[in-house]
Amino acid sequence: MKKITLLAIAAALAAIAVSPAFAHDMSADGMAGMPGMAAANGMGAQMHMDEHMRMTDPRDPAPQDIERANDLLATLRRVLRPYRNYRVALAQGFQIFMPSVPQDVYHFTNYVWSGDEYQGRFDPAHPGSLLYVKQPDGNYVLVGAMYSAPPDFTPQQLNEMVPLGIARWHEHIDICLPASITLDDLLRGNVGQGQQNLPGMIPIAANPEALKLDGKYGVFADGRFGFTGKIHDAAACQAAGGNFLPLAFGWMVHVYPFAGDDLKVAFGTSIPKPAAQ
């Protein structure tokens, strides 16, 4: 049953992107400081408009926007309470997306609920992904949730789900992925770690740190590919032997209900510091 669900979602997402797609937030956790390295495939701790990110335009909030946003926070605080223990999420079928790749925030995805969202069925009480921050001891602390929507949704449709006067939805655009990676690989967390000299890795002879970095980040190690990769146009992607995605997946929005009552923080673009559990 799980395999059928994954394949169904993969097919839907492939149809959306017209080619293999991958669109969850990953960061390189220190790679930006490496000589010649860029943060691999991530927006880091703060999302912002760049060559790989498109966001909805900001709006002045209407009074009903504030009321709706507070209602949504109350719903999430209630329904997410059991998932403060991340093992409960895993036991209920949530899957950690790319668990081996260091990230600022990890997505625990329920592929049934996420699939409903990409079919335009929005249920505030069943967000497709839960957002966790990993601690040094290996445990995960819940910080929020992510809703998704089809890529062809209009601003009005997005506004009906989560008000645009409060939150800014985002989508990932102009992504180049290594040709060696398929959608199924990414859904299963297979990014070439443990292999050597695949496209997107650092040549072992080129850098004494290459073996360690390749083992940690796989095909996203060299900084050209991915969601903050240096490649952001079709011609350059083709020249690098990659797969160019004009759009990866659809619209997404993060909500941080445990960050307090300040709506700018709860619906903001920065990952808040995990609250005490």
Asked whether residue 271 is domain-assigned, the answer is no
Instruction: Taking residues 136-140, report their average pLDDT.
Output: 94
Angle among Cα 152, 158, 162 to the nearest 5 degrees reads 155
Position 276 confidence tier, pLDDT thresholds 50, 70, 90: low
pLDDT tens digits, residue range 70-127? 999 999 999 999 999 999 999 999 999 888 888 899 999 999 999 999 999 999 999 9
Asked whether residue 274 is domain-assigned, the answer is no
Q: How many domains, in total, are found in the chain?
A: 1
Strand-pairing partners, residue 188, are none
Nearest in space to 52 (alpha carbons), one of 265, 224, 217: 224
The rounded distance, in Å, linking the Cα atoms of 93 and 181 is 25
Asked whether residue 272 is domain-assigned, the answer is no
Write the burial class of residue 246 (CB in 10 Å: 0-12 exposed, 13-18 middle, 19+ buried): exposed
Question: What was the pLDDT predicted at 34?
Answer: 32
- What is the percentage of the chain residues whose pLDDT exceeds 90? 51
Instruction: Taking residues 166-195, report their average pLDDT.
Output: 84
Write the burial class of residue 136 (CB in 10 Å: 0-12 exposed, 13-18 middle, 19+ buried): exposed
Question: What was the pLDDT predicted at 183?
Answer: 65
Residue 208 pLDDT > 90, yes or no?
A: no
Domain that holds residue 196: 2-266
Residue 7 pLDDT > 70, yes or no?
A: no
Range with the lowest mean pLDDT among 35-39, 53-57, 172-176, 247-251?
Answer: 35-39
Q: Give me the chain's average pLDDT, please.
A: 81
Question: What was the pLDDT predicted at 91?
Answer: 98
Instruction: Taking residues 254-259, report their average pLDDT.
Output: 96
Residue 37 pLDDT > 90, yes or no?
A: no
Asked whether residue 273 is domain-assigned, the answer is no
Residue 10 pLDDT > 80, yes or no?
A: no
- pTM comes to 0.80
Range with the lowest mean pLDDT among 16-25, 46-55, 124-133?
Answer: 16-25
Asked whether residue 102 is domain-assigned, the answer is yes
Asked whether residue 124 is domain-assigned, the answer is yes
* Distance, C-alpha 126 to centroid of its chain: 17
Of all residues in the chain, what percent are helix, strand and coil, respectively (each to 5)? 30, 20, 50
DSSP string across 20-42: ---------SSGGGSTT----S-
- What is the percentage of the chain residues whose pLDDT exceeds 70? 81
Asked whether residue 242 is domain-assigned, the answer is yes
Asked whether residue 277 is domain-assigned, the answer is no
Instruction: Taking residues 196-219, report their average pLDDT.
Output: 85
